[in-house]
Amino acid sequence: MADNADIAAEISERHLAGALANRPVWIGVDMARAECVDCGEEIPAARREAAPGAHTCIECQGIREMRARR
């Protein structure tokens, strides 16, 4: 019989698998974008180096994360 930790781990694994399956796929898009897909402003080089594949500037990413929490 599974205990609470096993049940929680299974739920977490299902949630992660679902999130990964539903993530945006950027096929054919240059992974080193220079412009934010949300506002069109340039993504600073430091952010592009720190987060390769970033498609948004720091400000827009913050907005996306706030919306996702709601």
For residue 3, tell me if it sits in a domain: no
* Domain total in the chain: 1
Give the model's pLDDT for residue 31. Answer: 54
- The reply to whether 47 falls in a domain is yes
Q: What pLDDT, on the 0 to 100 scale, is given for residue 26?
A: 59
| Main-chain dihedrals φ then ψ at residue 67, nearest 5 degrees | -65, -40
Write out the residue range of the structural domain in which residue 43 sits.
Answer: 27-70
Question: Domain for residue 32, yes or no?
Answer: yes
Gap between the Cα atoms of 54 and 39, Å rounded: 13
Q: What is the pLDDT of residues 36-70, one digit of tens each?
A: 999 999 999 899 888 888 889 999 999 999 999 98
